[in-house]
Amino acid sequence: MNGTLYIVSTPIGNLEDMSFRAIRILKEAAIIASEDTRRTQKLCTYYQIGTPLTSYHDFNKEEKTDVLLHRLQGGSPVALVCDAGTPLVSDPGYYLVTRAVNANIPLVPIPGPSSILAALCISGLPTDRFIFEGFVPRKPGVREKFFEKLQEEIGTIIVFETQHRILKTLHAIHKTMGNRRIVLTRELTKLNEEILRGNVEEILQNLEGKTIKGEITLLIQGQPQRKSKQTTFDDFTPITNLPFE
């Protein structure tokens, strides 16, 4: 009988966001496949999880998938985690999951933290329809075309961005989509968590001359002409929970 592949969500920052079920599954698994074993080891140490770890990332996914499938087909339970949050969202786990599905391996999701949903629920932007577009392209020109294609999207748009490129991305949004309302979330659930709400120009002015650190989830208002059933923040003052460092 094949073993089960567990897709285990882990905290995006605060270690206390780990679920009881996730802890149990990680303890019971024969092996944990992890994007960065050093980061996962800190989580395992915190919760006294002694299960062996093995690296699974973009550079070894083909080789490691064969190894993990062999373990699963031999009846061993395997847990897949990513660096933070829910696996398969902008990480290499998709390759393993598709191979497991084709091999008739049982898959079980262990739901938990997600920076996408965490950011959406506190954004103040409509939540009845949204689209996640992953990381913003790095190259100029390609970045602008990326946002041009999203101009007519009526749902809230969610993207990931790095601290080094966020200002360029905000300028690209302003150029292609106008001065829309956005919500910039940084380091969610961590000590330096920050949430900025405003239009693009206001957020750019807020960030001018500051050192930006940490992981960013950015939300962009959908087509402004949209008539949503939900209330959005109309009379609105930019809010900063914590200052940038």
Query: What pLDDT digit, counting tens, does each position of 185-206 carry?
Result: 999 999 999 999 999 999 999 9
- Kindly state whether residues 94 and 188 are assigned to the same domain: no
- Kindly state whether residues 158 and 93 are assigned to the same domain: no
Q: Give 90's pLDDT tier (boundaries 50, 70, 90).
A: confident
- Kindly state whether residues 128 and 207 are assigned to the same domain: yes
* CATH code assigned at 49: 3.40.1010.10
Residue 30 pLDDT greater than 60, yes or no:
yes
pLDDT at 227: 52
Spatial separation of the C-alpha atoms in residues 141 and 172, rounded to whole Å: 9
Spatial separation of the C-alpha atoms in residues 126 and 128, rounded to whole Å: 6
pLDDT at 234: 54
Mean of all residue pLDDT scores within the chain: 92
Instruction: Give the model confidence (pLDDT) of 217-230 as tens digits.
Output: 999 999 976 554 55
- Kindly state whether residues 120 and 101 are assigned to the same domain: no
- Kindly state whether residues 14 and 49 are assigned to the same domain: yes
Mark out the alpha helices in 86-191 (DSSP H runs).
93-102, 115-123, 142-148, 166-177
- Kindly state whether residues 121 and 69 are assigned to the same domain: no
pLDDT at 232: 54
The pair of structure tokens assigned to 225 is 């002409």
Query: Would you say the C-alpha torsion 55, 59, 64, 65 has a positive or negative sign?
Result: positive
Distances (CA, A) of 79 to 16, 40, 45, 154: 20, 12, 16, 37
Question: Would you say residue 233 lies in a domain?
Answer: no
- Kindly state whether residues 86 and 144 are assigned to the same domain: no
Neighbours of 118 (CB within 10 A): 19
Instruction: Give the model confidence (pLDDT) of 100-138 as tens digits.
Output: 999 999 999 999 999 999 999 999 999 999 999 999 999
* Whether pTM exceeds 0.85: yes
Question: Would you say residue 237 lies in a domain?
Answer: no
Which residue matches tokens 């882990």?
A: 10
* CATH code assigned at 122: 3.30.950.10
- Kindly state whether residues 89 and 128 are assigned to the same domain: no
Question: Would you say residue 150 lies in a domain?
Answer: yes
Of 123, 121, 65, the residue nearest 95 (C-alpha) = 65
Instruction: Give the model confidence (pLDDT) of 49-81 as tens digits.
Output: 999 999 999 999 999 999 999 999 999 999 999
What is the average per-residue pLDDT within 24-40?
97
pLDDT at 195: 97
Three-class SS of residue 113? coil
Question: Would you say residue 215 lies in a domain?
Answer: yes
Instruction: Give the model confidence (pLDDT) of 153-165 as tens digits.
Output: 999 999 999 999 9
- Kindly state whether residues 102 and 131 are assigned to the same domain: no
Q: For residue 138, what are the domain limits? A: 115-220
Domain count for the chain: 2
- Kindly state whether residues 120 and 212 are assigned to the same domain: yes
